[in-house]
A and B are shown apart, each in its own frame.
Chain A
């Protein structure tokens, strides 16, 4: 718990933003540390880009406090903050060529011509555009514009780089490439990146830490593994990866009942006979002969996914199960579903993140 004493680079305390009646952000708390890759993940309209605008100073909060390096910056204009943004549509200046775009920030700061030149060249090299400095913005591809936008923002030597869905306009292959490049860039520079996306796969692949945003609130925050393995609620479980979510009852610690049967599991700390939601990921389910399965199901549907089959099965209680399998199955066939106690994740209804963390600590400490 030594982290608590370190001053966070950016801190949101009860930050709200209302547009008249519309509450865009509802008392958001978050902490950003130095040198990590953060992702704000959420569906469109969840408020994730708004958080970015608040950090950069394009918007002011209507409630709460935003601190950068411990200082309240609620009304500090964006040109005085040590953060820079890579905009969703890149927002490159069409009246300037690649070089002048990257030189914009340093020249505003009044650096000498020589220093500007060094900085611009090193930034263009960083994003592998050394040979493009004389090109017009309209002459380069979308992927290259993206790199110019990154170089332009980094030329200001920010403490935090904000990236507002920068990869959404790129095609799949280029997006994959840029994901690993951005990750590498962040590690090389050692500055904080805050990346906004609605793509959960992107978030899981790139981040040290994810904030799942929904409806103007932080639903859950944690490492990609934490969030994937232990989603706090229905929304997070559904939004991050694919999930089978069925209703169940927690009979006692480490024993849950769903689909008409009792199963051993690894969760505890609920009330006896508390109604819960049970999550099992499709890749944790195996299709076996009925006698070896923990649940008996009928195969309902299947589709080929290239590297696997997605099979839909229905148990006797009527719950639908999505299974990711390497082998195909026959529709209408009776089969069994096999899974381990560790594959079962239990979610309480309406549990807050604090309570969730406290409960996890309480029983994991017992072991």
Chain B
């Protein structure tokens, strides 16, 4: 029995080794060596002493935070509404649907929408407003990124809300709480695990966005993602690129740790 289980694990372990462990090891190695192949911490020193890199880091975190905040503000009420609907599975499908479409396609669609002679400008033109620069601004970058990330925020929150026992809500009402009190004291605290995993799955990828940054933000927005891309593909400085990669990984792990499930969780009860 145990051997059989091991057999099934082999493929995945191989996969994990080849595409996760080895690349991370290589990344770490590159970040700790100089162009001449010597072990050094110089890359990290130059990272932390460079105003440009630190600004990029700040930018990345700031935009990821902004994107996460915007998606959360939009997604929570949406998920709550969805969880109250009769045909919630159908409406949820509509929310998930865009995630099936290739990211690049969606981004290009936004270029069409936001460009100087795009749909958005033609629309405001109807009201006599002259065309605005929409594309290649930081707001358009935040808008498109949020749009792309919203389903990943809605889904875990919806699941958490959906799992809340209806009897709990009835008990809260029974004990004298109105809808708002029930929402604040019961529903929001009970859906926190969903909010946390939503924040994780939006904030972490948003840290390393570069494609949307390039196509929508132009060179108005420079983040760690775009920096890595440039260091690897343009400047060919793999050592510095790897250094930033390692720092991004550390930032992601830190996010995971901060937003992880506390021991005293609702989910543990379900696992009893």
Contacts and interface: CB of A to CB of B under 8 A. Distances in A.
Given A58-B174, A108-B175, A156-B176, A93 B168 contact: yes
Interface string B186-203: 100110000000000000
A48 interface: no
B171 A85 contact: yes
A78 B269 contact: no
A253 interface: no
Nearest to A88: B167
B171 A138 contact: no
A92 B185 CA distance: 13
Q: Which of B175, B176, B181, B189 has the most CB of A within 10 A?
A: B175
Nearest to A58: B170
B3 to A, nearest CB: 37
Contacts of B165: 89, 91
Contact of A93 (B171, B178, B272): B171
A49 to B, nearest CB: 12
B271 to A, nearest CB: 10
B190 A87 contact: no
Interface in B146-205: 165, 167-168, 170-178, 181, 185-186, 189-190
Given A58-B170, A91-B165, A91-B171, A108 B176 contact: yes
Interface in A239-276: none
Nearest to B182: A79
B185 A104 contact: yes
Contact of B168 (A58, A78, A91, A138): A91
Given A91-B168, A108-B181, A84 B174 contact: yes
Contacts of A136: 264
A44 B173 CA distance: 25
A94 B269 contact: yes
A42 interface: no
A188 interface: no
Interface in B44-72: none
A78 B173 contact: yes
Given A93-B168, A108-B181, A136-B264, A56 B272 contact: no
Interface string A94-114: 110000000011001100000
If over half of B's interface residues share one DSSP class (helix, strand or loop), that class is named, otherwise mixed; here it is helix
The size bracket of the interface on B is: 20 to 34
A198 interface: no
A153 B268 CA distance: 25
A87 B175 contact: no
B176 A95 contact: no
Given A87-B170, A95-B186, A104-B185, A79 B176 contact: yes
Interface in A48-103: 56-58, 77-80, 84-85, 87, 89, 91-95
Interface residues of A, number: 26
Given A137-B269, A138-B269, A95 B189 contact: yes
A79 B173 CA distance: 5
A78 B172 CA distance: 10
A152 interface: yes
A262 B185 CA distance: 70
Contacts of B186: 93, 95
A85 B176 CA distance: 11
Given A94-B190, A95-B186, A84 B167 contact: no
Interface in B243-272: 264, 266, 268-269, 272
A89 B185 CA distance: 20
Given A95-B266, A137-B269, A138-B272, A89 B167 contact: yes
B266 A84 contact: no
B115 to A, nearest CB: 48
Nearest to B270: A94
A79 B180 CA distance: 12
B168 to A, nearest CB: 5
A20 to B, nearest CB: 14
A56 B269 CA distance: 28
A136 B266 CA distance: 10
Q: Which of A79, A80, A136 has the most CB of B within 10 A?
A: A79
18 contacts: A58-B170, A58-B173, A79-B173, A79-B175, A79-B176, A80-B176, A84-B174, A85-B170, A91-B171, A94-B168, A94-B266, A95-B189, A95-B190, A95-B266, A104-B185, A108-B176, A153-B175, A156-B176
